[in-house]
Amino acid sequence: MVPVRGYKGARVAVLGLGRSGLATARALRAGGAETLLWDDDAGAREAAGAEGGTLHDLSKGNIWGGVAALIVSPGIPHLYPSPHPAVAAAREAGVPTDNDIGLFFRAVVDGDMSAAPPRVIAVTGSNGKSTTAALIHHLLLAAGRPSRLAGNIGRAVLDLDLPGEGEIIVLELSSYQIELARSLAPDIAVLTNLTPDHLDRHGGLGGYFAAKRRLFAEGGPERAVIGVDEAEGVFLADQMSEQAGDDRVIRISAGRRLSGPGWSVFARKGFLAEYRKGRQVASVDLRGLDGLPGAHNHQNACAAYAACRAVGVSPRVAEQGFRTFQGLPHRSQIVARRGGVTFVNDSKATNAESAAQALQAFGRIRWIAGGLGKEGGIGAVMPHLGSVVKAYLIGDSAQAFAAALGHDTPHEICGTMARAVARAVAEAEAGETVLLAPAAASFDQYPDFEQRGAAFMAEVARLSGE
């Protein structure tokens, strides 16, 4: 673990005792702090109490006079739609709030303990950040560079072992994690894209973008890799550039050629191209990679390639690494091929924008969709239904999705995953893809998107006799 030494002898409150909260409490105690712990869930409190630390309802009693800081887990609201009562009480008492990401950067990068801090590549974005972070990690290992993966994917940052000489830490960071961190100091910062998400948590799209932007504006990275397929990315790239051709900014795009004197990486018609100072310096064929299917994954490939190039990985080594990347579970994951039909699990497509990307990655599609619908419904999907042979609708949003699809797209309300997969398997023909891309959250039927994806894979395996 990474001990947090800045609070030795002090009392520090930790709110939220999931994976990151427990790691934070351990790291604080390892650094000599006394911890006050709380989670609104009794099961989480019980697990934390078995490890040490004092359990105390942080929403009750006047405890803040002797507390040095409140460390808040990412899932707990601290501003919108309203602060958690413990956060509000701490602020009223003048107690500063932070999170594990801020503690990590202070402990490891800002020099609390390490004479030779590791390099850090931090990845954020609305869609694709998990795949991009995992791909960067994979490419670094393929290049023989020591690397570890943490943050919103893999291990909690403070649960990592102390970094070794020359190590590169790859962090996936959500907007929740970025907006509250008091210290942000990545060497390379990556923004894959920006589409509306978590708007209630950030008070609208502007607040959501502002949270993402902090990684660049507050972090001061030596290089910024920025997706410029949305207006916000173009704006951010402009803000980060000192002059035309400033190669501290690497612009990336999926689907259009980027021009100009600077550094750019883009994908068109299945090929990745790298340009510097107006000249092409490398090209990579992305076609036929099972681990990176579709244009949205080509955007992830561009972002990962650019980040690795920024730390000295050669184009040839990066290309070799692409060919051995297997992708992540539940993200455009090819789980079976049977009778000429391909089965793809993209359970992570929890909003319409990410589902729309999945629908553009394959040909004739039997689309399984539905769950707990989000604000805006499936509006973003509607322009991309040309490849859908038929939709099989499940969960709470099935009726609403059916109404949106109307008479233009054949569909059937199935209700459950088992029936949807069975009906799709019965009707699918050779050359088609059965795609789970729900365009909705999972919480109406499953605890998380992973268990939803697992249910899809189990049904595919059962019906395939595997």
Are 25 and 17 in contact by the 8 Å Cβ rule? The answer is: yes
Burial (CB count within 10 angstroms: exposed 0-12, middle 13-18, buried 19+), residue 404: middle
Confirm whether 152 is a catalytic residue: yes
Q: Which of 73, 68, 69, 3 minimizes the C-alpha distance to 32?
A: 3
Distances (CA, A) of 139 to 19, 115, 250, 421: 26, 27, 18, 35
Are 94 and 83 in contact by the 8 Å Cβ rule? The answer is: no
Q: Which residue is catalytic, options 78, 84, 129, 330?
A: 129
Name residue 121's beta-bridge partners. 170, 188
Question: Token match 């340009």: residue?
Answer: 275
d(Cα 225, Cα 247) in Å, to the nearest integer?
Answer: 10
Q: Which residue is catalytic, options 99, 127, 152, 351?
A: 152
Confirm whether 198 is a catalytic residue: yes
Confirm whether 129 is a catalytic residue: yes
DSSP state of 105: I
d(Cα 242, Cα 247) in Å, to the nearest integer?
Answer: 10
- Kindly give the interhelix angle for 129-142 and 315-324, rounded to the nearest 10 degrees: 120
Q: Which of 163, 173, 167, 252 minimizes the C-alpha distance to 212?
A: 173
Q: Which of 71, 146, 158 minimizes the C-alpha distance to 113?
A: 158
d(Cα 77, Cα 133) in Å, to the nearest integer?
Answer: 25
* Element of type H or E holding 46: helix 42-49
Could you tell me which residues come within 8 angstroms of residue 464 by beta carbon, excluding any fewer than 6 positions away? 336, 338
Q: Which residues have a catalytic role annotated?
A: 129, 152, 198
